[in-house]
Amino acid sequence: MIVGNLTPELLISAPRRGPAVPNPDGTLALYTESAYTSGKARKGFHTLDVTTGVSSLILSDDEAYEPGWLGDGTNTIIYLRNGRMGVTFVLTMDVDRVPPEPSLAGYIRAPVQCLKTKGLSDGTVAFTVLGYADTHGKLLNTDTIGTRGARVYSSSLLRHGDLQMPPYTYTIWYSVLSKQDGTWSIADDLHNALGGTDLHIPHMMGRYGDLKNQYDLCESGIVVAVDTTDPCGPAGRDASNVYLINIDSFSTGACEAPREIKALMQGDDSPGIYAMPQFSPDGSMIGFLRTEGSNHERSHIYIYLTMQSQRAISVFSMVTGKPWPLAPTGFRFSADGHSLYITANDCGQVGLYHLDLQPNAYPRPLLRNGTVSACYPLGRSDVNGALVTSSTFVDSCLYQVVSHDPCSEPAMLSSSSNHGAKLGLSPTQVSEIYFEGAGNYTVHAWIMKPRHFDTTKKLPVAILVHGGTPNNAWLNAWDMKWNAAAFAEQGYVVVLPNITGSTGYGQDFATGIYGDWGGRPYDDLVNCLHTLRNIPGIDVDNAIIAGAGYGGYLMNWIQGRPLARRFKAMVCHAGIFSTRSLALRSNPPPSGISLNSLELYNPAHPNLLRNWKTPMLVIHNEKDTVSPIGEGLATYNNLQSLKVPSQFLTFTDESHEIVKEENSLEWYRSVFAWINRFTGVASGQRHADDAPTEFSSS
């Protein structure tokens, strides 16, 4: 495929890779790759030679998903495949065979996901999946049952999102695979790990990404993080707990009742959010993340000894004894279980660190350029280091091998876009600035310039405001939803400010938004625009601003205030129009919004609504459960009543975010058409010396 500028079409069609997962001896890695072409997503499984970096396609199947190493010590993989009427097929494949051929191990009479496996001492393989259970605790095929129009709720808290969830319990199912005559097959019955309890796991994504992070298994059991809710207070509070389920037999289903693992707290013992429970390689330890409240800047790693502990203990407080200023976003045990690989957000980068589990140890940085999304030990010994998956603003996927040796540089195995070159991008387009915030603090912002940026020519500015505050930030990462490079290649200098409330800059900065939703963040944006005046090649008098979620709320808040007059156009995606019902509708309630301060930063205040003048594109989806579509309709109707140039874009089959490729393409086309209309940018204009590039997925 021949490409020039990074257009929306190229962005959507470019191949996307999943994390690279090494085999038991660390010689091969397995990853998925998908590409959207001719109106359809094409999917395949690939292996990567860890020594040479050479990739090989082993399966092309649009219905296959979640491949993983079987766990029997060989190069056999296991994966799931969608069948008709909700049936899920389980297949294996020996990748050492030439060519590899799928083998049917059996089928499950229901839609399932999040497959995990563990080799057992008797030669069988334990496997687990997530799926629905009926009222009797039996496996439920939701594709073959009718839907009920009426539902009755009696829980202490009810949120809009609850109404969109199926009225069934989501649970862990387990059984074994055995090998006979060279063929793997699954047992007939699947066992409900949470049967007979009132425990269940979330239906959708976990708090820290993939729902697979909600549980783990070892030879003797399963550990799982389940959601609970603290009904205290008028708006309630999210919480969760970790449970250990000892399993006597994965085959017969004999197991003990789930046992809660409690953390030994120092100080605040209020309910927290538990995530990423996982066993050490030998099963002797369980690790998990605990976040205090909804603030990800107060997350801690805890360790529990399965045979000795009464309570789990904090790694930094009670193992190493040395506090760490960064807040972990994830972790993984090393191959021998004596150390941890830890990821943490620090100033717009999610780096990788190594920590020995011993007194006075301190995390040592292994990788700090970009955003690490996955890390796996290579082989059965720590001497081989780890295989790391990451991304940057210009590269959607990087596979690297990192070593514990402080003198060794990471070894690059594969870059999906040759460090951006296949997309016409370069790391030199990315820079950073710091500017004074609204108080005694500084604010960090990323800047993405077009390839042919010339300081002698002034270009318009696009300021993008992230959502998810206070548990989010603009990272040096590839983003399909708000791709900074795609905005830049339209002809903008893109500014990504991590305003008050962003993570990765310390607890005080993240919690500075509490009770100040439209205060400090708004003032930070004012100062940001002022600072940009001093940067050559930027025309701050020809600027647009856009945001989603909390960023969308800020668009509505800004509209009624003087800052809005500084922009030629605005884009509001899934923004809150009125805060009056927000605290009672959301779970957990947004930071800074309480029953006593709902009106303080309410965009819908009459004195502000009449001030709306800046042209705005309003995007709100019909299935949005975080910010219901009525918020977007109110925003649009107010603009129309004031005769402000405005458009309303909605997707009937999308929720809070855009996930379908064809919808994402239309989103980018609509957003770019809107902002280009008011800034005078000619969309898709090609520079005279653009050299087309041969694009391939290798």
Residue ranges per domain, the chain? 431-679
Look at residue 203 in the predicted model and tell me its pLDDT: 67
DSSP 658-687: --SHHHHHHHHHHHHHHHHHHHT--TTPPP
Instruction: Give me the residues of the chain with pLDDT under 70, please.
Output: 1-4, 147-148, 153-165, 203-209, 228-238, 266-270, 293-297, 470, 583-598, 683-698
The reported pLDDT for the residue numbered 234 is: 37
**What pLDDT digit, counting tens, does each position of 367-418 carry?**
999 999 999 999 988 888 999 999 999 999 999 999 988 788 999 999 999 9
164 touches 625 (CB < 8 A): yes
Q: CB under 8 Å to 559, separation ≥6 — which residues?
A: 570, 603, 608, 611, 612, 613, 614, 616
259 phi, psi to nearest 5 deg: -120, 125
Task: Give Cα separations from 606 to 122, 206, 594, 627, 638 (angstroms).
Answer: 71, 39, 20, 21, 11
- 85-116 as b/e, with b when 16 or more CB fall inside 10 Å? ebbbbbbbbbbeeeebebeebeebbbbbebbb
Angstrom distance (rounded) from CA 579 to CA 9: 37
CA diameter of the chain: 78
CA distance 167 to 133: 10
Token pair, residue 530, equals 């002022």
- CA distance readout (Å), 9 to 13, 15, 99, 275, 487: 6, 12, 34, 36, 13
pLDDT tens digits, one per residue of 635-671: 999 999 999 999 999 999 999 999 999 999 999 999 9
Task: Report CA dihedral (13, 545, 518, 515) to the nearest 10 degrees.
Answer: 30
Q: Can you list the pairs that 245-252 forms with residues at least 24 positions away whose Cβ atoms lie under 8 Å?
A: 245/193, 245/194, 245/221, 246/220, 246/221, 247/174, 247/193, 247/220, 247/221, 247/222, 250/120, 250/124, 250/126, 250/174, 250/175, 250/176, 250/191, 251/124, 251/175, 251/176, 251/187
Q: Are 437 and 524 in contact (CB under 8 A)?
A: yes
Q: Is 33 helix (H, G, I), strand (E, B) or coil?
A: strand
Cα–Cα distance, 413 to 401 (Å, whole number): 7
| Residue 188, pLDDT score | 75
Q: Quote the pLDDT of residue 129.
A: 98
Q: Is the C-alpha dihedral spanning 681, 682, 688, 693 positive or negative?
A: positive
Give me the CATH topology for the region 431-679.
Rossmann fold (3.40.50)
Taking the C-alpha atoms of residue 117 and residue 353, their distance in angstroms, rounded to an integer, is: 27
With a CB cutoff of 8 Å and minimum separation 6, the contacts of 49 are 27, 28, 55, 56
Cα separation of 150 and 146, whole Å? Answer: 12
Which amino acid belongs to residue 166?
Answer: P
**pLDDT of the residue at 187:** 85
> How many CA atoms are closer than 13 Å to the CA of 142, on its beta-carbon side?
16
